[in-house]
Amino acid sequence: MATIVESGARRGRSADRAGLLDMLGRALGYCRRNPSLVVGLVMFMLLLLSSTIGSRFVNLLDARPISVKPLQPPSWTLPFGSDKQGRDLLAVMVAGTPLTLRIGLIAGFIGVIFGSFIAFVSAYYGGWLDALLRGVVDVGLTIPGLMVLIVIAMMVPSGLSVEQMALVVASLAWLYPARTIRAQVLTLRERSYIQVSRLSGMPGRMIILREILPNLLPYLAASLVGSISAAVLASIGLEVLGLGPMDAPTIGMTLFWINYNAAVINGWWWWWLPPIVVIGLLFISLFQISVGLDEIANPRLRKSVAAGKLAQVTRKQGGGHVNPKASTSDVLRLENLTVYYDTPRGPVHAVEEITFSLRAQERFGLVGESGSGKSSMALTIMRLIKAPARIVAGDIWLENVNLLDLPEAKMKELRLAQIALVAQGSMNSLNPVMRIRDQIAVGLADHGMKLTPNELEERVTSLLAKVGLAPQVANMFPHELSGGMKQRVVIAIAISLSPKVIIADEPTSALDVVVQRQIMETFKNVQTEIGASVILVGHDMGLMAQFAQRLGVMYAGRLMEVAPVRELFRQPRHPYTQLLISSLPSVETKGQFTGIPGLPPSLLDVPTGCVFHPRCPLAADRCRTEVPKLRELQPDLVVACHFAT
């Protein structure tokens, strides 16, 4: 029994150590993900500790007399020197920093709490109350704040204490948080889950406390840091004018005495330099904290240096400039293309060793469940995929040109002229403040086409006619067009320079069935007319069956099967393709729907062996350990399955 107890105790201690190490690992990982917050907090805590603990340290040193000879430069006994009053400037900085921070903290907290209350009430309830409160805030923000604070401070006859200074600054510190937080509440108020809570009968105060407030906590924290910074700056401004606590050695009052005694002009640098350094460190720390909290409130701000930049190509460049496996009929070929997204939890395997070719004037379909990597692959082909994506391996051959070896300037020349993209979501692809004519003209001008107004009009009219639109559409803005018309405009832009390859990423999403058919018919006619090859990305198997000539099936970033459309629907070889087709509704199985069991795997933790084996009804031990390679079963038909025949 004792042995069992000891063994259990050892396991418990091991588990505790493992848990502690896991927590430490998570903490270190978080520090790497949010260095701004960590740096800011460390700097702020060092200032706070040096000012609180340092006061005792200074008083205990025999070499720090309370009164010394005035205007002594720095020395071993006086590291910061002394001022004109004979005060040790190190002691002044140690004593003044917490007083200045106290003013900022009191004013900042009061400003954010009161401003948040005004913002929540104004934005959520609206009506005349919102108009009244918004008017008060707008008027308050238009008046010069420092002038108002000067008037308020001068009304105190006996001078201000540190706490009174904080209250004076707080009298205006709530205005800016009230405006910015109100804007955030207005956006949250219209969210679907808020509407559901309102329809369920939840009182307004409970909706604010339980639904809206938790979603705004990171933003409120960032607003608090900003308010503290503004309060410190305002208090220093008042103190420099001589309106601060005369008997307290705050940073602002130190600057007042520096200015009063003309320390800068007299060259007493040891007097004016320390408070400026302290102020600089304080504002840098608060700024870093604010940036870190903003990243928590809006994760899109992380890695801001990489935001908007194209994905890094980390693969080794090919040694030659000729595609060794090119066929005379291939216009585009992908060889082992691999793309990862770098995340704090590890790389996301978005595209894994994709290989297929696109023939001249062919319509190739690419299907798969959401998150299978179809759109990532399409953007990678265009070299438009952005960081934190990373092209790890592979080649993309446009005839005999490897697109991954081209500099960005050369790739810009090829886009639209040789390879074009019809992006998902036509409304997001069109500039809402530009007429359709101008949006078509931009692409032509960027590729060196210098057209007279009449030539441009003829070109635009011709392109619109090819996609079934009237000439007057050229004078319209995107919001004046229906969804189908906007999609036709996007197609017209894509074919404006008669590219060899067009990649269409779900071009009929959010359109009704009738319009989908019309768009695809238009797309097919245009493709035939200009002789382009098309890669159609989507998940509508019925649409693919009507449009595509060959079909590729993707799952969890990998290509499972490629076959002619008729052959694939007649006899699917991969178990995933079989389940995908069997899940489609049919006349024979009216009222019965059979979905694919299970869920797609997380691309952060891809299963070993075949990625489909956790959901596959035919999975064997080999499937769990060995990754199946694409192999050709017969001409024009390849499958990545150990047992496909």
Distance from C-alpha of 569 to C-alpha of 563, rounded to nearest angstrom: 9
Q: Which two tokens stand for residue 487?
A: 């999609």
> How many domains, the chain?
4
Distance from C-alpha of 235 to C-alpha of 111, rounded to nearest angstrom: 14
Distance from C-alpha of 415 to C-alpha of 383, rounded to nearest angstrom: 9
- Residue 580's pLDDT band (cuts 50, 70, 90): confident
| Average pLDDT for 458-486 | 91
pLDDT tens-digit map of 539-569? 888 888 888 999 999 999 999 999 999 999 9
Rounded to the nearest angstrom, the gap between the alpha carbon of residue 326 and the centroid of all alpha carbons in its chain is: 39
| Last residue within a domain, chosen from 265, 280, 301 | 301
The verdict on residue 321 lying in a domain is no
pLDDT of 122 above 50:
yes
394 close to 373: Cβ distance less than 8 angstroms: no
Q: What is the extent of the structural domain holding 615?
A: 570-585+593-645
pLDDT tens-digit map of 347-360? 889 999 999 999 99
Examine the domain organization and report whether 496 and 541 are in the same domain.
yes
What is the structure's pLDDT at 305? 42
- Assign 79 to helix, strand or coil: coil
Work out the mean pLDDT of the chain and round it to a whole number: 83
pLDDT tens-digit map of 396-440? 999 889 999 999 889 999 999 999 998 877 667 888 888 999 999
Between 310 and 15, where is the model more confident?
A: 310
* Whole-number Cα distances in Å, 642 to 233, 534, 571: 69, 30, 17
Question: 558-564 and 637-639: which strand pairing?
Answer: antiparallel
The closest alpha carbon to 518, from 549, 493, 483, belongs to: 483
The verdict on residue 54 lying in a domain is no
Examine the domain organization and report whether 495 and 413 are in the same domain.
yes
81 close to 263: Cβ distance less than 8 angstroms: no
The verdict on residue 57 lying in a domain is no
Residues above pLDDT 90, as percent of the chain: 29
Examine the domain organization and report whether 371 and 471 are in the same domain.
yes
543 close to 553: Cβ distance less than 8 angstroms: no
pLDDT of 263 above 70:
yes
Examine the domain organization and report whether 272 and 417 are in the same domain.
no
Question: 533-537 and 363-367: which strand pairing?
Answer: parallel
The verdict on residue 62 lying in a domain is no
- Residue 327's pLDDT band (cuts 50, 70, 90): low
The verdict on residue 329 lying in a domain is no
pLDDT of 7 above 50:
no
The verdict on residue 118 lying in a domain is yes
Examine the domain organization and report whether 500 and 581 are in the same domain.
no
CATH number at residue 125: 1.10.3720.10
Lowest mean pLDDT among 374-378, 483-487, 590-594: 590-594
Residue 208's contacts (CB-CB under 8 Å, 6 or more residues apart) are 120, 124
Examine the domain organization and report whether 228 and 88 are in the same domain.
yes
Examine the domain organization and report whether 491 and 597 are in the same domain.
no
Examine the domain organization and report whether 490 and 509 are in the same domain.
yes
375 close to 552: Cβ distance less than 8 angstroms: no
Distance from C-alpha of 544 to C-alpha of 536, rounded to nearest angstrom: 8
Examine the domain organization and report whether 138 and 18 are in the same domain.
no
pLDDT of 294 above 80:
no
CATH number at residue 512: 3.40.50.300
Distance from C-alpha of 343 to C-alpha of 390, rounded to nearest angstrom: 11
Examine the domain organization and report whether 179 and 97 are in the same domain.
yes
Q: Which two tokens stand for residue 429?
A: 């692809």
The closest alpha carbon to 350, from 316, 306, 311, 408, belongs to: 311
Examine the domain organization and report whether 146 and 274 are in the same domain.
yes
The verdict on residue 296 lying in a domain is yes
What is the structure's pLDDT at 515? 80
pLDDT tens-digit map of 64-110? 445 578 888 888 888 888 888 888 888 888 888 888 888 999 999 99
What is the structure's pLDDT at 147? 85
- Residue 299's pLDDT band (cuts 50, 70, 90): low
The verdict on residue 395 lying in a domain is no
Examine the domain organization and report whether 606 and 533 are in the same domain.
no
Q: What is the pTM of this model?
A: 0.66
